[in-house]
Structure formats: structure tokens, C-alpha cells
Amino acid sequence: MAVSERWSGHASDDPDDDPGLRIDNPFDETIVYGAEILDASGCPAMFSAGEIPVDKSADDIWNELGNLDYCDHTVFADMTPMMADLFDKADDCTVSDAVQAMAAMGIEDSDEEENADTAPRSSEFDSDWAPHGSKAMFMLDLLDNLPHLRLSDDHLKAIIWVMKECGTPDVPSFYALRKMQKKLMQDVGLQPCHHTSSLNNQFYMNPPNDLIRLDFANPLVRTHLNFYPEVTTTVAESWQAEKWVSELEADDLTPMWANWTGASHRHFYIKELAQCRNGAYLIPLKWIVYEKKVHAEAYPVSREASGVFTVEEHEII
């Protein structure tokens, strides 16, 4: 008998009710045995507070989202036949409409242009913007290599089109830009190296020695490079600080100096015997800039008649 049936009955104050109605207590025939409650047959009695309803609204939402066709333009609006001709579902959906419109207007690079020689002629080559050949080529190459603002091919084509429409002189085609960049990579020879950080992040970096080599090769940049500690009354640059001037060992500083304007083929190194213009001898220990001219801390050396060189006093002059 179910518990609900055994408890079927009611209590009433009406004297006309049947006095013989009896309500059975389902727990009269149960016993407590340890941590369990057993019924009259010795089986454990199972109790339940009811079932917890399962919320299936999240599953229903995901199922409805899965039934949507995201790539079907008819979900949002109907296209006219003219617009439908401009779209091809077989193409990459990320191609911008602006570039497609440019191609339809005939202002995008064609196959004939790619097969043509786009190298600037000598009469058009501007040596002030070497090796790019023009300011427009340099600026486009600069935009294409900004580290924190990556531009796609479509962006560059749109920029080139805008420059031409605005009358910018010497604007190259997109293919000419890519050809010039490929030539620069071959001439410069920079090969980015792959690195992995301590956090397992992947990145590429140009070797510092190759970058310094290019700075040395550029006469416009070379004059602004500083390699020697400088003695000044005020400190404004790192090479003017006390660490460069006094604390660093001579072997950690630039070991060579040359008179680039007078005798650039003669190189003078520290800790090697050198002869001055007046015939005196000395051993340079460190090269220092003072009053915008390179000086040397050195030991004076004397030469005897027998040809033996002797350090006169271990005093730096």
C-alpha cells in the first residue's frame, strides 16, 4: 500500500461522520537500525524530497542558434540582382567591398602591369630617398611595416588609390611596391630570428648586430651614433653618465679610434703603442670625448737609443 493510501482519511468535528474511520501511521511497522530505517520486511525504507526540475532553456537556445544560417544574406535583407552580381559566395567573404569596386572601375593592378618592368628609371630615381627611389614609395613601405598597425593588401590598394585621386606625385602601383620590398629584402639581407619567451609566446626579432651594421652603413645615421664616454658638466645622455666615464672597464668600451677626416686607414687601439704627430709615444688606455673632441687617457712612453720603449711613469695623462 502506498503511503498516500495508508494516510487516506480525514478528521472532522461533525458527529455524523463515521467513527469507525481509522488512519494508519506508515511508521508504526518501521524500526531504526543504526543509521537506516527498516520496514516490516526488513528492507531499507527510501525517502525522497521530490525531483529537481532540470533547466533546459540554455540547451534550447544553443539549438536555435545552430539552426541559423549566418552566411545567408537573405536572413537579413534581400539583394537586388545588381548587388548579387558583385558577390560570389565562393570567394573569401573578408574581401572588402571597396577593393571589389576598385577592381570593377579598373583602378586595381592588372596582370599586364604585373608583367611590366616597374623599376623606377634613372631619371625618376630620387637619390635623397634611396634605396626606395621616391618619397611616396618610402611612405607606403613605412605604412606597411608599422609593428602595431598591420595593414592588409586591400588596405594598401585603397590607400594607393586615394593618393592617386588626390594628385600625389610618383605614386607607385601595388605591384611596384611589393617588387621594391622584395628587392630591399634581398639587398639588406635581414633574416628575422624566431624566439620563444618564458611565457611560451612566439615572436620574431631582427638580430641587433645586423641593425647596427645598417646604421653604420647609412651616412645620415652614422654621424649621430656615440661610442665614447663624454665628460660634461651636466648629464643629459647615457654616455655622459658616471658609469660610462669612470666605472666601466676600458675593455668594455669602444677599443678603437680613427681620424676619419684625415687618415681613416689608420686605426688606433687601446693598450697598443701609438705615435703622435709630434713624434711622442704613448699607450692609449681609454678614449674619451671632451669639448666635442676625442681625447685619450694614456701612459707616456719614451724610446731609448737602443730602440727599447719604456713606460716612464704609470700616470695617466
pLDDT per residue as tens digits for the range 170-199:
899 999 999 999 998 888 878 889 999 999
What does the pLDDT read at residue 4?
46
What does the pLDDT read at residue 98?
60
d(CA 264, CA 279): 19
When computed from its CA atoms, the radius of gyration of the chain, rounded to whole angstroms, is 44
Q: Do 279 and 216 belong to one domain?
A: no
Q: Do 209 and 258 belong to one domain?
A: no
Single residue among 201, 222, 243 that ends a domain in this structure: 222
Strand ranges inside the chain, DSSP E: 31-33, 36-38, 193-196, 202-205, 230-231, 256-259, 263-269, 274-275, 281-290, 293-303, 309-311
Decide if 70 is inside a domain: no
Is the pLDDT score of 82 beyond 70? no
What does the pLDDT read at residue 7?
45
Q: Give percent of the chain above pLDDT 70.
A: 72
Q: Do 210 and 241 belong to one domain?
A: no
Decide if 293 is inside a domain: yes
Coil, strand or helix at 205? strand
Q: Tell me how far CA of residue 24 lies from CA of 1, 9, 12, 16, 106, in angstroms.
A: 11, 9, 16, 21, 96
Q: Do 216 and 281 belong to one domain?
A: no
What does the pLDDT read at residue 197?
92
Does the model's pTM come out above 0.85? Answer: no
Q: How distant is the alpha carbon of residue 13 from its chain centre?
A: 87
More confident call, 40 vs 161: 161
Stretch 117-140: mean pLDDT: 75
pLDDT winner (highest mean) among 86-90, 93-97, 260-264, 288-292: 288-292
Q: Give percent of the chain above pLDDT 90.
A: 22
Is the pLDDT score of 141 beyond 90? yes
CB-CB neighbours of 70 under 10 Å: 6
Q: Do 218 and 259 belong to one domain?
A: no
Q: Do 218 and 274 belong to one domain?
A: no
How many independent structural domains does the chain possess? 2
Side-chain-facing half-sphere of 187: CA atoms under 13 Å: 11
- The DSSP call for residue 44 is B
Decide if 299 is inside a domain: yes
Q: Do 248 and 279 belong to one domain?
A: yes
Q: Do 276 and 240 belong to one domain?
A: yes
pLDDT tens digits along 8-22: 445 555 555 555 555
Single residue among 176, 205, 222 that ends a domain in this structure: 222
Q: Do 275 and 208 belong to one domain?
A: no
Decide if 56 is inside a domain: no
Decide if 261 is inside a domain: yes
Decide if 2 is inside a domain: no
Q: What share of the chain is helix, strand, coil (3-state, %, to 5)?
A: 35, 15, 50
Decide if 152 is inside a domain: no
pLDDT tens digits along 200-257: 999 999 889 888 888 888 888 888 889 999 999 889 998 999 888 888 888 899 999 9
Decide if 264 is inside a domain: yes
Q: Do 217 and 243 belong to one domain?
A: no
Q: Tell me the pLDDT of the chain averaged across its residues.
A: 77
CB-CB neighbours of 309 under 10 Å: 11
Residue 130 φ then ψ, to 5°: -65, 145
| Domain range for 296 | 230-311
Q: Do 303 and 286 belong to one domain?
A: yes
